Amino acid sequence: MESRRLFRISAAAFVAVGLLVTGCSSGSSSSGSSDEGAGSATGSGSVSVDQAALKKFYGQKIKWRACGVAGFQCATMKAPLDYTKPDGKQIDLAVSRKKATGPGKRLGSLLVNPGGPGGSAIGYLQGYAAIGYPAPVRAQYDMAAIDPRGVARSEPIECLTGPEMDAYTQVDQTPDDQAEITRLTGAFKKFADGCEKKSGAILPHVSTVETARDMDIFRAVLGDEKLSYVGASYGTFLGATYAELFPERTGRLVLDGAMDPSLPARELNRDQTAGFETAFQSFAQDCVKQTDCPFDTKSPAEVATRMNAFFKGLDTKPVPTGETRELGESLATTGVIAAMYDESAWPQLREAVAGAMDGDGAALLALADSYYERDSDGSYQNLMFANSAVNCLDLPPAFTGPEEVTKALPSFEKASPVFGKNLAWASLNCAYWPTKATGSPHRIEAKGAAPIVVVGTTRDPATPYKWARSLAEQLSSGTLLTYNGDGHTAYGRGSDCIDTAINTYLLEGTPPTAAKKCS
């Protein structure tokens, strides 16, 4: 899928607040390192691995040290860069943990991943999970995380400089003529070329399958017989992939805001486009009830019409922001999309759009910057770089050229009159990727795995609810837990029903009853 595809768990602000939780009763055991295994995956990306050559990785002893963040320990773990060549080059992966606080029986380690792909699991652990998850969970689990290969602290992929990214994010993603199409495809090519030039050695080795294998090494290094894991958004695909590879080592997995691994990139992107439309409709219905709604209408349908007119106006005449960058259509659309991830951002969005309509685009630009993880000094975190690298490796491209996008535009615009054209063209980026995809869409059944809880939110913008239904049906031991609400993911978002069901599963191993629904 493309760089902005789903798991855009949106910037850390939108991500770490709403995503995830998971856990698997792995239990502490010194025998964990004896499972040096190739895994038993039957899906795409499965490769033949020399089990004997992996023993040195499964048996490694890492040196924990203080992180500079109170209560946390950090270390570096080794893994093969290429699992088909385990005696070849190695990669350094950053890991972190916070020991169980007690009281109660220690249940092992609980790994967390906030999604992306490209989100820092360690940043999420230290900034939220290990201090914000329910106290009983933190009391009985060592909270742990590994930054995926190519992400944040684990040999991060780099592609463009800050000024180059500024230019990239402002390119018109709703081209109106051939000249604008040429500029957009040129931007995608420059992005891909930058990634190859700066990170070419690692680009072929950041697939989800490889990251899942890294997680199994980390499980063994931690001394756990089974993996306990909470994954949100893209983290659900990572968790499901782990269960496919290592069903016998799968413990309590919570997959919140689930992806559907059986869908090709184009269908995933179109489904997500519809998901953002669903979220926008909810926003519109709420907006017309608010005194500060900037659209001066009591009709939710008219909100969409006026938002489109707002975007079109910015396409021809950007507004100032108080800095050198102006707010044009592309950045404005990104800012609106960012606010769709969490309904608590809707008041901020109303204010930002009103400001832009009055000629001040600073607030809406700030939302876009949060999505792209742009820092105040003009530099960018590597989220967007890793996002493209993983997505373009995991699935063949949604489109191979502009002609295919043009033909598909009607279906995307039907899925979302507000975002369809933008998201269709954004789906073109993998067409120019320097590394050929190694994965392919396929069902994940994970036969033999312990019960897995799949969580879906009915009006989730980034991972549509039907994906959760599909994944729960695919997994041989999947159980669907439904949250009837808005926003991306459900755990820790204020529903006592959801939180109680997940906490009970993590602590006692009892999954919720089939088809349980919460609000």
Strand partners, 143: 98, 110
**Residues 252, 248, 243: CA angle, nearest 5 degrees:** 60
Q: CB-side exposure of 243: number of CA atoms within 13 Å?
A: 38
The string of DSSP codes covering 441-507 is: ------TTPPPEEEEEEEE-SSS-HHHHHHHHHHSTTEEEEEEEEESS--TTSS-HHHHHHHHHHHH
User: Among candidates 463, 137, 85, which has minimal Cα distance to 273?
Assistant: 463
Task: Tell me, rounded to whole angstroms, the distance of Cα 19 from its chain centroid.
Answer: 9
Whether residue 372 contacts residue 169, with contact meaning beta carbons closer than 8 Å, is answered with yes
C-alpha–C-alpha distance, residues 175 and 159, integer Å: 24
Whether residue 174 contacts residue 421, with contact meaning beta carbons closer than 8 Å, is answered with yes
Q: Is position 205 annotated as part of the catalytic site?
A: no
Strand partners, 228: 110
C-alpha–C-alpha distance, residues 48 and 248, integer Å: 18
- Which of 214, 216, 460, 499 does the annotation list as catalytic? 460
Angle between helices 51-58 and 208-222 (to 10 degrees): 50
For 157, the token pair is 């992929």
C-alpha–C-alpha distance, residues 59 and 50, integer Å: 15
- Which of 233, 388, 470, 495 does the annotation list as catalytic? 233
C-alpha–C-alpha distance, residues 131 and 229, integer Å: 16
Residue 508: Cβ within 10 Å count = 11
Q: Is position 233 annotated as part of the catalytic site?
A: yes
- Which of 486, 488, 495, 499 does the annotation list as catalytic? 488
Using CA atoms, how far residue 510 sits from 102, 151, 451, 500, 505, in Å, is 21, 33, 9, 11, 5
C-alpha–C-alpha distance, residues 353 and 358, integer Å: 9
- Catalytic center residues: 233, 460, 488
